[in-house]
């Protein structure tokens, strides 16, 4: 996509669609009179009459008069009270703009940035939020319908009307677009049918990502995992005809490999529950059980693009969890890569076994801080609903730094407690060091806390995205399906930490 690096005035813009913000109190808007004079002297009358809405998230399309034929149409975007408009409001509003541009099959568009400026939101902020929102809103879930023969439409070019510094505006917009495109790639991974995304396919995607951004990559296959003794991943994989993979990506921005942030993603490409078999209704949608891996890969794509001054290692355990004569079963005792033994009480509590080995390996690869991301439990949905990511941590300062990024990106994260009593229940077993399923009560805490047993004293955050990784219905920033949850927050955290 071309971002025009040249400040435009209304008469000099040539575009299919101009995007204009309309705040309730236009007398407080920056340079509103300039557009009012250019467009039509009756513009304010139309707004007062309700023909053009200033209500937040309301869009109004208007054709432009022949005298101003260099602009085909204007989409007026209601912003409500400017003083109460938040960045999250604006990002979501631009998501609706992206959907509208897709419906209109727009190739080029322009944004009057100044019309979206408020006392708390500057032109460069608007540019970033516009790029994020529009490109996430524009996203379409890939499908395999033979009747679908319509050519794809693209946002080929954008230009800006603004009084701000154009280099800063363009730079901000381009970073926002990078963030959005990484989210959309993560969404597409989550949306892929499981027969089209095996552990091997996920590893191949990581290899291509490494080539594109000059990242160090290592892929361990089944034989290598057996040699290392990774009993967590291997036990989950026992019932499958598809081999597992352990994927490692490294981004080194400093001369020395130190002070390293470690991302760990759950990459269970399909989860039947194993012998603790899921009901039919619960099994549909389990293609998305690799949402944590998708989030980590999306974050690494952003990191590869923006090149922050921070060392990062990403480790993904990839396998499916199937039922067969060789599958692991309740009452089995397995030995993880760390040497800790686990009594298996529930084969549908498989993600934490995969993460156990991946976390241990990330520490061996030099991770000084750990963030694991996983669609781990239905318990987080019971506790927090579908729109909140649940979190655990063993380090207050580390978590507070992470939350600054989460607040900035608008991704809601809520921390749950992990007490010593919880840890005792995870460690309660007559047969092994740990058990993988202490009970249904406090399910999310026990699942994440199990992973924390392998993080040990390393500063650690657990993110359960079982609710937030998949949207059950269309929303402001995209369609039904994969959401790309935590991609932006992970990347923003690396840039800011």
Catalytic residues: 278, 352
Chain position carrying tokens 């913000």 = 21
Whole-number Å distance between alpha carbons of 93 and 207 = 36
Q: Which residues contact 31 (CB under 8 A, 6 or more apart)?
A: 114, 163
- Residue 223, burial from CB neighbour count under 10 angstroms (0-12, 13-18, 19+): exposed
Q: Give me Rg for the CA atoms of the chain.
A: 24
Distance CA 376, CA 181 (A): 25
Q: Write the CA distances from 65 to 41, 69, 70, 115, integer angstroms.
A: 12, 7, 10, 21
Report the SS3 class of residue 268: strand
Which of 476, 271, 474 is closest to 374 using CA atoms?
271
Residue 134 phi/psi, 5-degree rounding, is: -65, -45
Residues in the chain: 497
Dihedral angle sign, alpha carbons of residues 51, 52, 54, 60: positive
Contact criterion met (CB below 8 Å) for 8 and 110? yes
Instruction: Quote the CA–CA distance of 467 and 485 in Å, as a whole number.
Output: 10
């Amino acid at each position: 996509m071309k971002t025009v690096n040249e400040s435009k005035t209304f008469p000099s813009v040539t575009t299919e669609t101009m995007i204009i913000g309309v705040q309730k109190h236009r007398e407080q808007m920056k340079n509103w009179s300039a557009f009012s004079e250019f467009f039509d002297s009756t513009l304010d009358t139309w707004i007062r009459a309700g023909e053009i809405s200033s209500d937040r998230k309301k869009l109004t399309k208007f054709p432009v008069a022949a005298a101003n034929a260099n602009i085909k149409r204007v989409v007026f975007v209601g912003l409500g009270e400017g003083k109460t408009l938040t960045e999250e409001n604006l990002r979501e509003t631009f998501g609706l703009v992206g959907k509208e541009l897709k419906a209109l099959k727009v190739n080029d568009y322009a944004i009057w940035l100044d019309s979206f400026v408020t006392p708390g939101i500057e032109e460069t902020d608007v540019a970033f939020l516009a790029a994020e929102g529009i490109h996430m809103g524009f996203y379409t879930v890939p499908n395999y319908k033979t009747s679908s023969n319509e050519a794809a439409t693209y946002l080929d070019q954008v230009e800006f009307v603004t009084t701000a510094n154009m280099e800063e505006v363009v730079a901000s917009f381009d970073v926002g677009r990078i963030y959005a495109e990484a989210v959309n790639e993560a969404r597409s991974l989550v949306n892929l049918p499981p027969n089209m995304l095996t552990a091997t396919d996920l590893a191949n995607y990581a290899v291509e990502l490494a080539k594109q951004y000059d990242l160090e990559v290592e892929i361990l296959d089944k034989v290598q995992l057996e040699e290392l003794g990774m009993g967590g991943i291997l036990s989950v994989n026992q019932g499958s005809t598809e081999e597992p993979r352990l994927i490692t990506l490294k981004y080194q921005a400093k001369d020395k490999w130190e002070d390293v942030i470690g991302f760990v993603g759950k990459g269970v490409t399909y989860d039947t529950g194993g012998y603790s078999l899921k009901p039919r209704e619960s099994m549909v949608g389990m293609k998305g059980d690799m949402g944590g891996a998708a989030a980590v890969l999306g974050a690494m794509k952003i990191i590869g693009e923006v090149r922050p001054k921070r060392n990062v290692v990403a480790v993904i355990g990839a396998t499916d969890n199937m039922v067969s004569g060789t599958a692991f079963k309740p009452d089995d005792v397995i030995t993880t890569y760390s040497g800790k033994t686990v009594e298996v009480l529930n084969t549908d509590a498989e993600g934490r076994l995969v993460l156990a080995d991946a976390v241990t390996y990330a520490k061996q690869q030099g991770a000084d801080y750990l963030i694991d991301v996983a669609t781990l439990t239905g318990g987080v949905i019971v506790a927090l609903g579908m729109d909140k990511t649940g979190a655990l941590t063993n380090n207050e300062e580390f978590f507070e730094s992470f939350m600054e990024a989460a607040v900035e990106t608008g991704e809601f994260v809520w921390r749950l407690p992990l007490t010593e009593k919880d840890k005792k229940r995870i460690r309660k077993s007559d047969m092994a060091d740990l058990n993988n399923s202490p009970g249904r009560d406090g399910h999310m805490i026990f699942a994440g806390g199990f992973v924390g047993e392998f993080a040990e004293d390393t500063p650690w955050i657990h993110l359960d995205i079982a609710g937030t990784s998949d949207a059950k219905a269309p929303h402001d920033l995209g369609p039904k399906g994969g959401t790309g949850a935590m991609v932006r927050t992970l990347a923003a955290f690396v840039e800011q930490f």
